[in-house]
């Protein structure tokens, strides 16, 4: 779907397109090799996903928690119910036409059951509050449900090409002195979670090709996936995609797209960006990345080990998006942030790294990106606000991707490369594998 010029500012991850409205710039389960039980103190998530038809799946999940905080109940974030009605759909009115080009066609969650060590549960929108029958020792929570995906071009949904199963598994809410029940906001990325180890078995027909993060092993009728120490779990099932791979020095990229040239370009761009970030920042927690080019209304989106890139972008926009999303392997996947209260931190760092990459690898284009951000953010608000204080998608994107990103990148010129990259590398090394404290 072509991207109308009047909605360019809504493309969350694409700075060239986002800033075009501010200035005209002419530029061209057989888990081999997995951890065994007991080797990790993280929550252990075991899931069995059976794709029964296009857009439909039956899901069975077991989450084992060795050290549960003392609380009356245990809340899990469970997002699919939000996509069942227009009233709860997490999208702004201004973005609705992009996200749902055919209008609202809702999904459904049925047969939801919670068992194991749980005595009862209450569903409050996207929060499942589970009341365990006992709070002593390790606990096991079991969830069983059926999904019918909504028709849309959002993070979670499907179209003729792809089933996008983003954040479709329950996730333990963040605990910091008490459980936080953060709600899914229609602006930005409202996700703040600690990590868990995921072991997922997916069953599907040969109609589909699986795009997934982590260690993927083919089995009869599907595949198994092992994704350790991850803040989320997302997979995509595609119809007749082209794929391309690229690898170098122990890092590998697999890219999928409806077009072979698009898949090849995405794989090569991600690998080149990863090599640059590894050299200047450090080694990420993962040695592989899956890139999926597909219908998606918001430019790009990062998940642990897997990223979306919109197929509606120009070649230049796609290149910028791929680099930005690759940078999230460092800032979000490896180093976590509180995206609800400090949404600028990972997005700004990812965009600053995007500026640095293009300024070194393709200087005219890189300089144009920085200039466009500077102009685009000239009248933007303060980026350092929680998500709840952003008035619109445009307010969010111009404040964070333009104003704050350009301001931080300007430090490279005043401080010099040694300090600029040294500070990034030090921040990365200090918080790799954890959530960076507020500050």
- pLDDT by residue, tens only, the chain of 439 residues: 322 223 333 345 544 444 433 332 332 333 333 333 446 789 999 999 999 999 999 999 999 998 887 888 999 999 999 999 999 999 999 999 999 999 999 999 999 999 988 889 999 999 999 999 877 778 999 999 999 999 999 999 999 999 999 999 999 999 999 999 999 999 999 999 999 999 999 999 999 999 999 999 999 999 999 999 999 999 999 999 999 999 999 999 999 999 999 999 999 999 999 999 999 999 999 999 999 999 999 999 999 999 999 999 999 999 999 999 999 999 999 999 999 999 999 999 999 999 999 999 999 999 999 999 999 999 999 999 999 999 999 999 999 999 999 999 999 999 999 999 999 999 999 999 999 998 7
For the chain, the structural domain boundaries read 15-25+243-431, 45-238
Number of neighbouring beta carbons within 10 Å of residue 86 = 13
Whether the CB-CB separation of 306 and 233 falls below 8 Å is answered with: no
Can you give the three-state secondary structure of the chain, one letter per residue?
A: CCCCHHHHHHCCCCHHHHHHHCCCCCCCCCCCCCCCCCCCCCCEEEEEEEEEECCEEEEEEEEEECCCCCCCCEEEECCHHHHHCCCCCCCCHHHHHHHCCCCCECCEEEEEEEEECEEEEEEECCEEEEEECCCCCCEEEEEEEEEECCECCCCCEECCCEEEEECCCCEECCECCCECCCCCCCCCCCCCCCCEEEEEEEECCCCCEEECCCEEEEECCEEEEEEEEECCCEEEEECCCEEEEEEECCEEEEEEECCHHHHHHHHHHHHHHHHHHHHHCCCCCCCEEEEEEECCCCCEEEECCEEEEECCCCHHHHHHHHHHHHHCCCECCCEECCCCCCCHHHHHHHHHHHHHHHHHHCHHHHHHHHHHHHHHCCCCCCCCCCHHHCCCHHHHHHHHHHHHHHHHHCHHHHHCHHHHHHHHHHHHHHHCCCECCCC
CATH tag for 15-25+243-431 (out of 3.40.50.720, 3.90.110.10, 1.20.910.10, 1.10.390.10): 1.10.390.10
**Angle formed at CA 184 by CA 285 and CA 149, multiple of 5 degrees:** 85
Q: What is the pLDDT of residue 23?
A: 34
Q: How far apart are CA 418 and CA 314, in angstroms?
A: 34
User: How far, rounded to the nearest angstrom, does the alpha carbon of residue 175 sit from its chain's CA centroid?
Assistant: 21
**In the block, residue with structure tokens 């199963």:** 165
Number of neighbouring beta carbons within 10 Å of residue 286 = 20
Whether the CB-CB separation of 142 and 173 falls below 8 Å is answered with: no
Q: How far apart are CA 222 and CA 183, in angstroms?
A: 33
Q: What is the pLDDT of residue 19?
A: 43
Q: How far apart are CA 431 and CA 334, in angstroms?
A: 8
* Pairing status of strand 139-148 against strand 56-65: antiparallel
Whether the CB-CB separation of 168 and 59 falls below 8 Å is answered with: yes
Residues facing 309 on adjacent strands:
293, 300
Tell me which CATH code domain 45-238 carries: 2.60.40.3650
Q: What is the pLDDT of residue 43?
A: 96
- Token output for 336: 């976590």
Q: How far apart are CA 417 and CA 424, in angstroms?
A: 11
């Amino acid at each position: 779907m072509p991207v109308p010029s009047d909605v360019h500012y809504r493309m969350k991850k694409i700075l060239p397109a986002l800033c075009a409205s501010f200035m005209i710039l002419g530029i061209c389960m057989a888990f081999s090799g997995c951890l065994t039980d007991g080797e990790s103190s993280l929550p252990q998530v075991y899931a069995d996903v059976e794709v029964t038809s296009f857009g439909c799946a039956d899901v069975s999940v077991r989450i084992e928690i060795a050290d549960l905080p003392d609380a009356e109940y245990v809340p899990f974030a469970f997002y699919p119910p939000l996509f069942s009605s227009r009233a709860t759909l997490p999208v702004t009115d201004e973005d609705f036409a992009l996200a749902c080009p055919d209008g609202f066609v809702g999904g459904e969650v049925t047969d939801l059951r919670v068992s194991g060590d749980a005595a009862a549960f209450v569903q409050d929108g996207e929060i499942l509050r589970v009341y365990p029958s006992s709070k002593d020792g390790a606990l096991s929570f079991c969830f069983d449900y059926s999904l019918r995906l909504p028709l849309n071009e959002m993070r979670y949904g499907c179209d003729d090409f792809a089933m996008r199963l983003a954040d479709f598994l329950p996730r333990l809410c963040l605990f910091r002195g008490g459980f936080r029940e953060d709600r899914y906001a229609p602006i930005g990325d409202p996700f703040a979670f600690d990590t868990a180890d995921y072991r997922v078995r997916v069953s599907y027909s040969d109609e589909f090709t699986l795009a997934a993060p982590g260690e993927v092993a083919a089995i009869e009728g599907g595949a198994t996936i092992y994704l350790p120490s991850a803040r989320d779990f997302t997979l995509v099932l595609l119809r007749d995609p082209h794929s391309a791979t690229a690898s170098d020095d122990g890092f590998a990229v697999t890219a999928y797209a409806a077009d072979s040239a698009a898949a090849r370009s995405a794989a090569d761009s991600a690998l080149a960006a990863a090599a640059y970030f590894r050299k200047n920042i450090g080694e990420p927690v993962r040695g592989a990345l899956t890139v999926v080019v597909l219908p998606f209304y918001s430019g790009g989106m990062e998940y642990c080990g897997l990223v979306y890139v919109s197929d509606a972008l120009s070649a230049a926009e796609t290149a910028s998006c791929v680099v930005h999303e690759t940078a999230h392997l460092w800032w979000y996947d490896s180093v976590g942030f509180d995206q609800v209260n400090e949404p600028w931190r990972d997005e700004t760092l990812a965009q600053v790294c995007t500026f640095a990459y293009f300024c070194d690898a393709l200087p005219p284009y890189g300089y144009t990106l920085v200039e466009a951000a500077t102009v685009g953010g000239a009248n933007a608000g303060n980026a350092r606000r929680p998500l709840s204080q952003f008035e619109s998608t445009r307010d969010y994107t111009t404040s964070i991707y333009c104003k704050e990103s350009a301001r931080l990148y300007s430090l490279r010129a005043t401080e010099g490369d040694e300090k600029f990259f040294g500070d990034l590398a030090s921040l990365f090394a200090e918080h790799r594998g954890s959530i960076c404290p507020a500050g």
